[in-house]
Structures are given as structure tokens and as C-alpha cells.
Chain A
Amino acid sequence: MTDLLQRILSGGHESFVAAAYAVSFALVALELTLLWRRARRAAEAAPPGHRP
């Protein structure tokens, strides 16, 4: 495990793979966070008993 970590941090090819998956998880987390915040805003803004 530490060997793998060392290879990633050494800047070799493994670091690109790690970076790719890190970016993927980060973007997914970003989307979910933004969605959660948007949901919060919508729930707070909708007045009770509102009809179109």
C-alpha cells in the first residue's frame, strides 16, 4: 500500500491515473453538493399553500 502511495506521489504514470479518478470523484461531489444546496434553497423559498 505504501509502495503504491509512493509510486503515485513520485509523479510517474500512476499519479496521472490517481489524478484522473480524484478529479472524477471531486466533480461528482461538486455536482451533488450544488444539487443539495439548490434543493435547500427551493424548499425554503416555496411558501406553504402556494398554488401556480
Chain B
Amino acid sequence: MERTWSTQREGDGRVPGWLAYASPARFDPLAARLAPWFLGAAAVLACAGLYVGFVLAPTDAQQGEVYRIIFIHVPAAWMSMFIYLLMAMYGALALVLHTRLSSMMASALAPTGALFTVLALVTGALWGEPTWGTWWVWDARLTSELLLLFLYLGFMALEAAIDDPRRAERACALLALVGAINVPVIYFSVRWWNTLHQGASVSLTAAPSMASVMLAGMLLMALACWMYTIGVALVRVRVILRERGMLPGRRA
């Protein structure tokens, strides 16, 4: 019978504490305990963030009420990029340490990352229409978000297309790593393209000058998204563990 989980021997006192959790059997109950706390924290922080954003933050001088979309648009954009970097990190861990749980964490994060990317794009469009009269603005951030969405969807497509789960995990790990190295290049090239072609600075990055209240609202929402991501990823990775038969079976 092959070992399908971490190469660390279980119960070996010399294993550093955190690395022992690379074993699915140890990780699963931990994830089960932690997930509700993260999701609960997400809900609380989201309420706090929305309160700050809608009740405490004043109406903007230039953009009126529409700017309040920023409280979901910017955190979503931040998360979409941060999650991809996380996926790449887990991918690197999977390739170097040969732990299957690492690549499963990357797979668990991907749908949430795609969600935030779609959210950033949709809220960007809903911000652009009343502000500049068009549903789509080819500014640097939205265009980078679009390409990032393609990277997420490509990751999920590759995972779905390869039948052998081990090969799928390692191929996706490599893809995430290659994509992550490319993301700064993509972002730079899109910004360069944007300044080249657009005289008028119709840009969502030209955000209203940030009162500290607005910044506080954005940070609270960003934290909420962060907690949500961790919670959902923990739930999803437990599902993935079961789908791939990585856990010793339940007694009937």
C-alpha cells in the first residue's frame, strides 16, 4: 500500500509541530474545528465594514454615493491577487516537499479566487457605468483582473481535464507557480499599455482621495474577505480530501 500523504513519519517527535499537520489525518479535524470561527469572523467583520462604509463614511464630493462600491471592489481585487500568490506558494510547497495536502490547498483556494476576480470585474463595471458612462473601462486594474480570471479558469480547467489526481495536482501546482511569476509581468505590461493608449485618465485607480474613515471601511472589508477565504478553503479542502479518498474510511 502506497503512502499517499506526507513523507514525515507520524508520531515522530523530531517533526516540527506545523509540518505534522501536512498529514491529512491530523489536518482534517483541525480544519473542521477552525472553519466555523473563520466564517463567523468574516460575517462580523463584514457587518462592521459595511457599517463604517455606509453609515460612518461621508458622501464623496465628486462621485456622490456611487463611490461606496469601492468597499467591495478594492478588497475583492486585493483578494483575487493575494489568493493567486497563495496558490502559487502552495504549489511550490507541493512540488518541493511532495505533500499532496499542499496542492489540495491550492485547489481549494482556486474557486474562491475566481469568485473575487469576477466580483472585482462586475463591481468595476457597475462603478464605471454611472461614473464614466461605459460598462467596461480598459484601465490597468480591470484588464489585469480579466487576465487573472483567465489564469484562474485555466487552473480549474487543467485540474478538471487530467484524470489522474496526482498528476493533476502536480501539473496545477506548476501552472500556479508559472502564472504567479507571470502576474507581475502581465500587470506591468498592462499598465504600460494603458498609459500608451489612453490620454484621458479614465481610471478606476484614480480613486477618491481617501478619508481615513473610507480607508478603515476598506480594511475591515478586506479582513472580512480574508477570513471568508480561509474559512471556505478549510471547508473545501476537507471535501477534496474525501473526494480523493485520502482519509481512512469512516466506520459505517
Contact = CB atoms under 8 A, between A and B. Distances in A.
Size category of the binding interface on chain B:
35 or more
Interface of A: 13-14, 16-17, 19-21, 23-24, 27-28, 31-32, 34-35, 38-39, 42-43, 45-52
B236 A28 contact: no
A51 B64 CA distance: 60
Nearest to A39: B239
B85 interface: no
Given A24-B72, A50-B245, A16 B127 contact: yes
Contacts, number: 86
19 contacts: A13-B64, A13-B130, A16-B66, A17-B65, A23-B122, A23-B123, A24-B72, A24-B123, A27-B122, A35-B239, A39-B238, A45-B243, A46-B249, A48-B249, A48-B251, A49-B250, A51-B1, A51-B245, A51-B248
Given A35-B232, A50-B245, A19 B118 contact: no
A49 B252 contact: yes
B4 A52 contact: yes
A20 B123 contact: yes
Contacts of B1: 51-52
Interface string B110-138: 01100100110011001101100000000
A51 B130 CA distance: 57
Interface of B: 1-2, 4, 64-66, 68-69, 72-73, 76, 111-112, 115, 118-119, 122-123, 126-127, 129-130, 228, 232, 235-236, 238-239, 242-246, 248-252
A19 B239 CA distance: 32
Contacts of A42: 239, 242-243
A14 B65 contact: yes
A25 B68 CA distance: 15
Given A24-B72, A31-B115, A51-B249, A19 B232 contact: no
Q: Is the interface of B mostly helix, strand, loop or mixed?
A: helix
Nearest to A43: B242
B123 A13 contact: no
A24 B66 CA distance: 15
Contacts of B123: 20, 23-24
A27 B252 CA distance: 36
Contact of A48 (B64, B111, B235, B250): B250
B236 A16 contact: no
Contact of B126 (A19, A35, A51): A19
A5 to B, nearest CB: 14
A21 B72 contact: yes
A16 B119 contact: no
Contacts of B73: 20
B232 A23 contact: no
Given A13-B130, A27-B119, A50 B249 contact: yes
